[in-house]
A = this chain, B = another copy of it.
Amino acid sequence: LTGGLSIPDPRQREALIKLEISMQTGGQLVLTDAEQRLDSVLFKMKQKEIVGPDCPPAMHFFKARHLIKTSPIFSLLQKMPKGGALHVHDFSMVNVEWLVKNVTYRPHCYMCFTDSQSIRFIFSSQWPKPLPHCSPWILLENLRAKMINTTDLDNSIMGNLTLFTDQDPETVYPSQDVVWDRFEQSFLAVWGLVTYAPVFRDYYYQGLTEFYMDNIMYLELRALLPEIYELDGSTHDTAWTLKTYQEVTRQFTTDHPDFYGARIIFTVHRGVNISTMTGAVEKAMKLQRDFPDIMAGFDLVGREDTGRPLWYFRDALSLPVERGVTLPFFFHAGETDLEGTEVDQNLLDALLFNTSRIGHGFALLRHPVAKDLYRRRDVAAEVCPISNQVLMLVNDLRNHPAAALMSENHPMVISSDDPAMFGTSGLSYDFYEVFVGFGGLRSNVGSLKELATNSIRYSSLTPKQQEEALALWQRRWDRFVSENAF
């Protein structure tokens, strides 16, 4: 670049603009003719959608969803083979409508109302024992039999199982504390439904179906692996739960041969004490040894701001290395605004514990040393834009820090965290926010392609499996491009 005491040279300007475009995610990819034609189609669509006050990524997703649903870009993104979903939690995979219309209509389903205006469920062959802080149990079958119209009841149940609302989200959730509280309450409401053994299998199968329908071919599921109960109140242990995930995954891939599979990241709540954490890490090591195919690794879950920092659990998290045992970590880190606090060191600590990816990494930009190390070690951030917006880390998604990360091709994948909780499904909504919001007019088919292949490259699959999965993805991608490039 010349010193500036000359008139700008248009060719130099053009070169700098091109240089910047080439630095973004996918900027190095050479597009085929068909891909370039698809890119022109998408560019024209974006020019229409990006201007004006109703630019969806600028709005809260709850208000933007109906706009996105009718977007031609979204419809293309739904058809696009997106690779794997690497950051999804076990009990928020399935549209809550399915939970209400299918699960709560099964026999022996009881419900009660908590003091804090939430609901709880249980399936039981006998009348269940009362829960503390909850109304007497009601058998849903009886309740519905007395009603002429059950739509209101079903809608009200549904509203308790998700954060999504048609009301103004800023009014319903005035602060991070409120939205996290409601998040945890909805999670507890779902709990009794999905930890019932027959539902547990069906729920997971249905979850895989929803991701499959959204053209996802692979899943890494963060799972608490709780005790699963039967109608008589008997329970199964963690290994049973993991084995069930394995069986259902096998069944699903048999039924859908173009689905590559799923792996499990065992998760523990970060609110536990040190001895519980130690026990959990020991259990994780055992599961990793006994179920190497399905087990991907270990992570902590729950709100970072109110939970314990990784460093608090350093002895427990050091056990695998001390014992020479492999236990890959996939830590949530940097899902916070609290710069400079202990929790804010999670990003660095996850790295020191050799994490394989970071969940969110929202605070990465404020940590240049950690950011640089993540990049050099090629450890990807699992970016979940809608989750970050709903949980009130960011308002206008065009300002999401990962927009900056994408402009320099920082290692990342896109995921949906808790789709059912946020009123999304699969990955397409999050891809929309990324493509239109993060990328503006600048992101292109190359960006989409790289994000999709990243989800395989940064997965826990072995190199050989990755190759297989990439080949499978490439065939579907080529078909997608040829069918949509005009």
Which residues of A are at the interface with B, using a C-beta cutoff of 8 A?
A: 1, 3-8, 12-13, 16-17, 19-20, 23, 50-51, 53, 58, 170, 174-177, 311, 314, 318, 321-322, 337-341, 344-345, 348-349, 351-354, 365-370, 373, 377, 392-396, 398-399, 401, 403-404, 407-408, 439-443
Query: In whole angstroms, what is the CA distance A394 to B7 when docked?
Result: 34
**Dominant secondary structure at the A interface:** helix
Query: In whole angstroms, what is the CA distance A348 to B1 when docked?
Result: 12
Contact of A439 among B340, B348, B398 (CB under 8 A): B340
Contacts A53-B174, A53-B176, A366-B407 aside, 15 further interface pairs with beta carbons under 8 A come to A4-B351, A7-B318, A16-B352, A17-B345, A17-B348, A20-B348, A23-B369, A337-B440, A339-B441, A365-B365, A367-B407, A368-B408, A393-B396, A395-B396, A399-B401
Query: CB distance B5 to A354 under 8 Å?
Result: yes
Query: CB distance A340 to B441 under 8 Å?
Result: yes
Minimum CB–CB distance from A416 to chain B (whole Å) comes to 21
Contact of A393 among B322, B351, B399 (CB under 8 A): B399
Query: CB distance B404 to A404 under 8 Å?
Result: yes
Minimum CB–CB distance from A398 to chain B (whole Å) comes to 5
Candidate in A4, A23, A318, A403 with the most chain B CB atoms within 10 angstroms? A4
- Chain B residues positioned under 8 Å from A348 (CB to CB): 13, 16-17, 20
11 contacts between A and B (CB under 8 A): A3-B354, A5-B354, A7-B318, A7-B322, A13-B349, A16-B348, A339-B398, A339-B441, A340-B440, A394-B395, A395-B395
Chain B residue with the shortest CB-CB distance to A399:
B394
Chain B residue with the shortest CB-CB distance to A404:
B365
Q: Closest 9 CB pairs between A and B?
A: A339-B440, A4-B354, A340-B441, A340-B442, A395-B395, A8-B352, A365-B404, A53-B175, A340-B440
Contact of A369 among B20, B314, B344, B352 (CB under 8 A): B20
Query: CB distance A398 to B441 under 8 Å?
Result: no
Query: CB distance A53 to B4 under 8 Å?
Result: no
Query: In whole angstroms, what is the CA distance A442 to B318 when docked?
Result: 28
Kindly report how many copies of this chain are found in the complex they form together.
Answer: 2
Query: In whole angstroms, what is the CA distance A345 to B13 when docked?
Result: 10
Query: CB distance B341 to A441 under 8 Å?
Result: yes
- Chain B residues positioned under 8 Å from A311 (CB to CB): 13
Chain B residue with the shortest CB-CB distance to A13:
B352
Chain B residue with the shortest CB-CB distance to A356:
B4
- Chain B residues positioned under 8 Å from A354 (CB to CB): 3-5
Chain B residue with the shortest CB-CB distance to A22:
B369
Minimum CB–CB distance from A1 to chain B (whole Å) comes to 6
Chain B residue with the shortest CB-CB distance to A395:
B395
Query: CB distance B170 to A8 under 8 Å?
Result: no
- Chain B residues positioned under 8 Å from A16 (CB to CB): 348, 352, 369-370
Query: In whole angstroms, what is the CA distance A58 to B314 when docked?
Result: 31
- Chain B residues positioned under 8 Å from A370 (CB to CB): 16, 20
Contact of A344 among B170, B322, B440 (CB under 8 A): B440
Query: In whole angstroms, what is the CA distance A416 to B49 when docked?
Result: 33
- Chain B residues positioned under 8 Å from A345 (CB to CB): 17
- Chain B residues positioned under 8 Å from A13 (CB to CB): 311, 348-349, 352
